[in-house]
Amino acid sequence: MKILVALSRFPYPTDKGDKLRAWFQIQSLCKHHEVHLFCLNDETIKKEHQEIVSAICASVTIVNLSKRGIFLRLFKNFFSQLPFQVAWFTSNSAQRKFQQLTEQVKPDAVYCQLARMAEYCKNLPQKIRILDYQDAFSKGLERRIEHEPFWKRWLVKMEFTRLKKYEIEIFDQFTQCTIISKQDAELIDHPMQKDLIIIKNGVDSEYFKPEPNAKTIDLLFTGNMQYEPNVNCVLYIMNEVMPILTKEFPFIQLVVAGKNPAKELTDLTSKSIQLTGWVNDLRIYFKQARLLVAPMQIGVGMQNKLLEAMSMGIPVITSTLANNAIGATHGKHIWIADTPQKVAESISFLLNNTELAMKIGQNARQWMVEQYSWDKQNEQLLRLFQVPNKIIYYN
C-alpha cells in the first residue's frame, strides 16, 4: 500500500515528542508499506539526518516555512477562527506542493500527525484518512492558563477556545482518529470520542537499557526546557519541593538535562539546580541518576522521559496526572506523589531505601520491555492500514 505521511516537523533527530512518535511509527510503516513523507520545516536540517530518513522512505518532500510567512499568517489569523498553531503551519504554497505530491504519488492512504496538519489532509478522497491527535492539546492549553503571566493569559485562553472547537470539527473529516492515551481520548469533546483508537508511545529498550555506573546525580529531570509543562515542573520542584527537601539534604541537587532552558530557569540562582543545555546522549545522565523526579503539574499526553528512565531501570517519582497515561503501579513500577510535601517525602524515602528503589527500577525495566516496545505499540497502527472501513477497537 502507498501511504502518504504528513508531518509538521522533520522527524529526525527525535528531540521533541511528536518527532519521536513520528519517527518510530514511520519505521514500522516502512517495513510493510511504501511510505512517502511530506513534512514542513522551520529550522536547519542536517544532510546526514535527511539521509537517514530518506534511506527508509520511498520519497521525502520537505517544505521550508519562512519566518516572514509565519509572522504574516499569525497576524492575519487574529481575524480568523483557526487556532494559531494551525495558521503557523498552514501555508498556501505548502498546500499546493502537498496537492502536487498527492496527484503524483496517488496514495492509497494518508496519515496526518497532529491537528495542526489537518488543513492539508481533511478534504482528500482517499478511503483511508487517519488523523493522529497524539495529545489532547486543547486541554493542555487550558491547564496552562492560570500559570501564565497576566499579559499572556488572554492569548492562551483564545488559543484554547479555538483549538478545542477545531479538534471537534476535524474529527469527522477523517475515517479514523488516533490518540496517545485513554486519558487524552476522554478530553476530546466529541460525541463519538469512544471511536478514538489508543496508540501509545513506546520506548527503544535496547537503546535505553541499564548500565552499571556510579550514581553521582541525586535527582534528574529531562526534556525540552522551552516546553511550558517541563518549565512549570522544574519551577515546582525548585520553589515548592526543594525548600522542604534541603532541611534533610542540604547539598542535594537537581540536574536538568535538556535543550534551550527557558529564561525562568536560567534566572534561578540556587546551588540546588544544574542546567546542562543540549545533550547529545541522555543516557549519560540517566545512568548516573539515583532518581528521576518529574511530578508534572500541567500538560497532556505521555511523558517519554518516564518511559526512557524506567527502561534504564531508574526509579521514577511522578504525579498521578503523568502516570495516568502510562498506567504504572505505584510502589511496584513507579512512585506517585501529588503534593510538594509528598514529593519531598518520596525523594527522602527512596534515597534512604536503596534496595526498594533498585527493585522499583528493575520492575519498571521489565515492564517496559514486556509492554512498551515500539513494535507492540505500532501493531494497532499497522492494522488501520489493512481495512478501508471504519472499525472501532476497544482499549
Q: Give the pLDDT of residue 4.
A: 98
What is the average per-residue pLDDT within 17-28? 97
* pLDDT reading at 389 higher than 60: no
- Least confident range from 58-67, 82-91, 361-370, 380-389: namely 380-389
In the predicted model, what is the mean pLDDT of the chain?
95
- Residue indicated by cell numbers 503523568: 322
Cα–Cα dist 144/146, whole Å: 6
Q: Indicate the pLDDT class of residue 387, thresholds 50, 70 and 90.
A: low
282-333 pLDDT tens trace? 999 999 999 999 999 998 999 999 999 999 999 999 999 999 999 999 999 9
Q: 282: Cβ–Cβ under 8 A, 6 or more apart, which residues?
A: 222, 257, 308
Neighbours of 145 (CB within 10 A): 16
Alpha helices in 260-394 (DSSP H): 263-266, 283-286, 304-311, 320-323, 340-352, 354-371, 374-384
Q: How many CA atoms lie within 13 A of 366 on its CB side?
A: 9
pLDDT band with cut points at 50, 70 and 90 for residue 393: very low
Measured distance between the N- and C-terminal CA atoms of the chain, rounded to whole angstroms: 26
HSE (side-chain half, CA atoms, 13 Å) at 261: 22
Give the span between the Cα atoms of 351 and 325, in whole angstroms.
26
Per-residue burial over 316-341, b = 16 or more CB atoms within 10 Å of its CB, e = otherwise:
bbbbebbbebbebeeeebbbbbeebe
- Rounded Cα distance between 218 and 246, Å, is 12
The residues with which 36 forms a beta bridge, in sequence order, are: 4, 59
Are 220 and 285 in contact, with CB atoms under 8 Å apart? yes
Secondary element (H or E) of residue 7: strand 2-7
30 vs 196: CA distance, rounded Å:
24
Contact 94, 101 (CB under 8 A): no
Phi-psi region of 134 (alpha: psi -120 to 50; beta: other; left: phi over 0): left
pLDDT at 390: 45
Rg over CA atoms, the chain: 21
Numbers of helices and strands, H then E, in the chain? 18, 13
Residue in the block written with cell 510493510: 32
> Are 348 and 364 contacting, i.e. CB atoms less than 8 angstroms apart?
no
- Per cent of the chain over pLDDT 70 is 98
**Domains present along the chain, CATH in parentheses:** 2-202+374-384 (3.40.50.2000), 217-371 (3.40.50.2000)
Per-residue confidence band for 394, with pLDDT thresholds at 50, 70 and 90: very low
Grid cell locating 266:
536560567
Specify which residues 222 forms β-bridges with.
Answer: 257
CB 222 within 8 A of CB 289: no
Q: What pTM was estimated for this model as a whole?
A: 0.92
pLDDT at residue 178 is higher than 70: yes
Q: Classify residue 308 as exposed, middle or buried by CB count within 10 Å of its CB (0-12, 13-18, 19+).
A: buried
